[in-house]
Structures are given as C-alpha cells and as structure tokens.
C-alpha cells in the first residue's frame, strides 16, 4: 500500500463516519476499519511490501491515520450516545420536582413480631423477660426437672448431644426455670423465658429441628391453679381475640403436677376452622401445670411454703394459628413473597 492509499483510506473513513448518527451503524464502521479483518489492520500489515527506504515514513503515516480515525470514531460515538439520551428524555421527560425513589425498607421477621406481641402481653401482666443459655447440661435439661437417667419421659425430647459428655443443645426452655430459681431464691418470681430450642426430629410441615419457645414461670406464696387459669385466659384473649373461650385438659409433664393442655375455641366464621381444628372447633395453644415439688426443691425453694405454675408455648405455632400458615418451614426459607406479607 502506498502513501496515497493511506490518504484515501483516511478520507473515505472520515466521510463514511460523518454519515452515521446511530450507535449501531458506528459500531459496524468500527468493525469494518478496526476489526480483525479491518482495512486499518490490513494497511498496517502491508508495511512489509513497502520499499525499505520508505517503511519508516509509511509506518509513521499509518499510525497517524489510525489515531485520527480512532479519535473521530470516539467523538462520533459520544455524540450518538448523547443524542439517544436526549431522545429518550424527550419521550419521557424528567420531572425534577418529583421526590426521589425510596428504597424498600427491611421488616421485622414474623417470628420476631409474634415474640414482641407475647412480650407486650406478658409485660402488661407483670412478667419480666429472663434469658438462659442454649447449650445446656443434661443435668439441668432433664435431671433437675424430675427426669433422672433412663426416665421414659426423656423419649418425649429427641436430643442433640455434643462431643462433650453431659452437654447438649437444650430441648426446651424449661432449664431456665432452674437458672432463675437458683438466682432469685427466696424471692417471688414472675418471668417469661424466650429462646431457641433444638430437637433431632424429621423436618416436616409441622416440625423443625430448631424452633422458638416461650416458657413462663410464677413462684410465690399461695399461687394456685386458679392463678394459672386466669393468666392463660388473659393471654389467650389478648392474643387471639376477646371472645375466645379457653378449655383445659389433663395432661402429663414430668416437671409439673398436675399438668394441663390449654385449648381455645376457633371462630366459627373462619373458613379455615375445620381444617385447623380437624373438625373439633378447638385448637391447642400451650402446655402448663403447677410446678412439681421436686423441681421447686431443686431450684432452692421449699415446696411446703411456696407454690408455682409454669407454661410453655411455641411462638411460631402461634403465628401459624393466627394466619392459617400450614408449613413451619416457611419461617426459615427467607422467601420474600412470604416475609413481605407481614
């Protein structure tokens, strides 16, 4: 290629470039001149065919033409982008007086919301919140709660054992009863003990290996089953509605005597009533009972002088009941479609 050919290449390139105003055409021009098989690349590769004494001048001129075309292309491309932007603004004019777009705000997890509802209700009833550890000893999780080794009641809790002998993940919040009793004895107690519990169960729509629980404990002189019933009734009506009726059934827990299960009637106008209650009209909400004398004694109290009651509930199950949620696994899946409903 001669010097004249280089001049012609520059001239034709600039003329073509001046005729394009859209980005797609400009990029096609760039491929034509600077692609792997482009005209500019061919011109540079042709330096070997130029007489030796003219190669230096040819190389300098070829590089000048290359820089000139690249600069013209960059200028044309910027102009095309600006033109496209102005066209889009004219199609949808920007109103600078409009407020900016707000970012979506995070929400409290539904399990946290139901916990706060429970705290609020029992706070109004004079209860304090007491927290205890999640990694617990076998002694406090079972033995001090009236379940010695090989007691058949231990089969009610599928336990996660650790590599440290005698150390487990707590299966319920009830060990907190011993902690708070030993800490506050001989004073009266009125506390709730919320926290995470762990059981080695098959994960299903109704059970998880990790779940929240809220324990309640009241100890003092003259505490009776009537006090327990009144507390539970007040809680149920605050949580589920003022018209709820409470039903008490006999049950068994090793750490309470007598032990009860507490049910509430479900509104007849709820379309989920038969499915939730299995046609009975009643839903179980918690287990409770009078603190067993052995547990009181293990906590440092004299069962001949004081009595007490305890209860336990699952906040996530409460939420499932209130909103007809039929799969407990939803609480751990972090699905925004589920979480944004709360």
CB 61 within 8 A of CB 6: yes
CB 169 within 8 A of CB 137: no
Could you report the per-residue pLDDT of 184-205, keeping only the tens digit for each?
999 999 999 999 999 888 887 7
* Mean pLDDT computed over every residue of the chain: 87
The yes-or-no verdict on residue 1 having pLDDT over 70 is no
Average of per-residue pLDDT across 280-302: 93
Is the sign of the CA dihedral 246, 251, 253, 259 positive or negative?
Answer: positive
The yes-or-no verdict on residue 45 having pLDDT over 90 is no
Any residues with CB less than 8 A from the CB of 152 and at least 6 apart, and which?
A: none
pLDDT, position 8 = 79
What is the rounded CA–CA span in Å between residue 9 and residue 212?
77
pLDDT, position 194 = 95
Choice between 243 and 321, residue whose per-residue pLDDT is larger: 243
Q: What is the pTM of this model?
A: 0.67
Looking from the CA of 205 toward its CB, the CA atoms found within 13 Å total 5
Average of per-residue pLDDT across 20-44: 80
User: Of 221, 235, 230, 240, which Cα lies nearest the Cα of 192?
Assistant: 235
Choice between 319 and 5, residue whose per-residue pLDDT is larger: 319
Q: Which of these ranges, 66-70, 164-168, 169-173, 271-275, has the smallest mean pLDDT?
A: 271-275
pLDDT, position 249 = 94
Choice between 54 and 245, residue whose per-residue pLDDT is larger: 245
Cis peptide before 98 (omega within 30 of 0): no
The yes-or-no verdict on residue 324 having pLDDT over 70 is yes
């Amino acid at each position: 290629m001669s010097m004249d050919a280089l001049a012609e290449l520059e001239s034709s390139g600039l003329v073509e470039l001046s005729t394009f105003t859209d980005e797609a055409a400009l990029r096609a021009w760039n491929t034509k001149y600077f692609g792997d098989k482009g005209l500019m690349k061919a011109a540079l590769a042709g330096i070997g065919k130029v007489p030796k004494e003219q190669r230096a001048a040819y190389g300098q001129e070829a590089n000048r033409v290359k820089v000139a075309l690249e600069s013209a292309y960059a200028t044309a491309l910027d102009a095309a982008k600006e033109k496209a932007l102005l066209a889009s603004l004219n199609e949808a004019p920007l109103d600078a007086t409009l407020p900016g777009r707000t970012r979506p705000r995070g929400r409290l997890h539904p399990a946290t919301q139901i916990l706060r509802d429970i705290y609020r209700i029992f706070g109004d009833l004079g209860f304090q919140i007491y927290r205890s550890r999640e990694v617990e000893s076998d002694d406090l999780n079972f033995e001090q709660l009236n379940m010695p080794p090989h007691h058949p009641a231990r089969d009610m809790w599928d336990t996660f054992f650790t590599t440290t002998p005698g150390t487990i993940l707590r299966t319920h919040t009830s060990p907190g009863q011993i902690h708070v009793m030993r800490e506050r004895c001989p004073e009266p107690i009125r506390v709730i003990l919320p926290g995470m519990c762990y059981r080695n169960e098959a994960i299903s729509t109704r059970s998880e290996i990790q779940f929240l629980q809220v324990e309640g404990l009241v100890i003092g002189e003259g505490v009776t089953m009537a006090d327990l019933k009144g507390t539970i009734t007040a809680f149920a009506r605050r949580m589920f509605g003022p018209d709820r009726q409470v039903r008490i059934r006999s049950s068994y827990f090793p750490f309470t005597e007598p032990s009860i299960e507490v049910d509430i009637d479900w509104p007849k106008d709820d379309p989920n009533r038969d499915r939730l209650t299995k046609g009975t009209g009643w839903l179980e909400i918690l287990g409770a009972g009078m603190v067993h004398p052995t547990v009181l004694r293990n906590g440092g109290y004299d069962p001949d002088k004081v009595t007490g009651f305890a209860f336990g509930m699952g906040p996530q199950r409460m939420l499932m009941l209130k909103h007809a949620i039929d799969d407990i696994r939803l609480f751990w899946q972090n699905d925004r479609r589920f979480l944004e409903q709360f």
